[in-house]
């Protein structure tokens, strides 16, 4: 795991606990004030991405140091985060910034 300020890269072999660690880090940073809409977390399968998002939301919704309103608000804002497969997040970012990159926003996966 490499971390510098607000960027943390977690890399390890299969079954080593990467998803658990990523979920812990993201939930902890959100509780400490990170806007959930600024989160970018990727994995390799749709199933793993859905699991990751669900675990983060569950951690936020059960965080005892927060008020009910704060827990719900943070969990709802997590919907704005870029959490998905490497390909889906990359495609979303390319579409979002296509015009400023001189590309058509009507991108298609080939």
**Of 9-13, 68-72, 76-80, which range is least confident?**
9-13
Percent pLDDT > 70 in the chain is 93
User: 80 pLDDT exceeds 50?
Assistant: yes
User: 46 pLDDT exceeds 80?
Assistant: yes
Pairing mode of beta strands 2-4, 40-43? unpaired
Structural domains present in the chain: 2-101 (3.40.50.300)
User: 4 pLDDT exceeds 60?
Assistant: no
pLDDT tier, 16 (very low <50, low <70, confident <90, very high otherwise): confident
């Amino acid at each position: 795991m490499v971390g510098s300020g607000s960027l943390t890269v977690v890399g390890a072999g299969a079954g080593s606990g990467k998803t658990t660690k990523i979920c812990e880090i993201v939930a902890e940073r959100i509780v400490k004030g990170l806007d959930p809409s600024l989160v970018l977390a990727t994995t390799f399968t749709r199933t793993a991405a859905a699991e990751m998002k669900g675990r983060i939301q569950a951690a936020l919704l059960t965080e005892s140091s927060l008020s009910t309103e704060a827990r719900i608000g943070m969990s709802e804002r997590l919907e704005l985060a870029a959490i998905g497969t490497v390909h889906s997040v990359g495609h979303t970012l390319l579409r979002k910034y296509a015009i400023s990159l001189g590309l058509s926003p009507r991108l298609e996966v080939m």
